[in-house]
Amino acid sequence: MKTILLITLMLFLACPAHSIKYPIDCYTKDGYVAAISEKYLDDMIKYSVDKDYEAINKLFAAGVIVTMKDGIRVHVVETHAFSGKVEFRLPGSTDVLWTITKALKC
């Protein structure tokens, strides 16, 4: 079992990162959040785990996180497979947002 896992890991690491063609078109899912930086996304996740709704509301009030609507087309700029995070942007925009991989349909 360890041998199979090791071989799979070696094959995964051997694949060139440039084999994924960006941007990838995806669509947002309703109710998930997007943040203006990875830090704010991490804060949102931490506050959600802690059930600190006051802190979450402060992030919304500051405009650093937003709730996404369903079906909005976005361009994925980069995926971070091990962390489960995705960088994306809206078509025509240069501003990058962060969310979790489950928040997008690709």
Read off the pLDDT of residues 81-98 as tens digits, 9 standing for 90 and up. 899 999 999 999 999 999
Read off the pLDDT of residues 1-29 as tens digits, 9 standing for 90 and up. 544 443 444 444 444 444 466 778 999 99
| Distance in angstroms (rounded) separating the CA atoms of residues 28 and 23 | 15
Read off the pLDDT of residues 72-82 as tens digits, 9 standing for 90 and up. 999 999 999 89
Query: In angstroms, what is the C-alpha Rg of the chain?
Result: 16
First CA to last CA across the chain, in angstroms?
Answer: 32
| Distance in angstroms (rounded) separating the CA atoms of residues 9 and 4 | 9
Read off the pLDDT of residues 23-67 as tens digits, 9 standing for 90 and up. 789 999 999 999 999 999 999 999 999 999 999 999 999 999 999
Torsion angle in degrees (nearest 10) through CA of 45, 48, 54, 60: 50
